Amino acid sequence: MTLVEVPMGKLALFLGGFLLLTILIGILGTIPPS
């Protein structure tokens, strides 16, 4: 791993987690609370 690949991997993980969280919140928002 080079000095460039490490931050890129961390950024990819962060963005992936953020995207998953956003999708999860979106799905929960569409379901009406019973």
Over the stretch 1-34, which tens digit does the pLDDT of each residue have? Answer: 677 788 888 999 999 999 999 999 999 999 877 6
The per-residue pLDDT for 31 is 84
How far apart CA 8 and CA 16 sit, in angstroms, is 12
Locate 16 and state its tokens. Answer: 């992936």
How far apart CA 28 and CA 14 sit, in angstroms, is 21
User: Measured at the alpha carbon of residue 15, what is the angle toward residues 12 and 22, in degrees to the nearest 5?
Assistant: 155
The per-residue pLDDT for 10 is 93
How far apart CA 10 and CA 15 sit, in angstroms, is 9
CA quadruple 6, 11, 14, 15: dihedral sign: negative
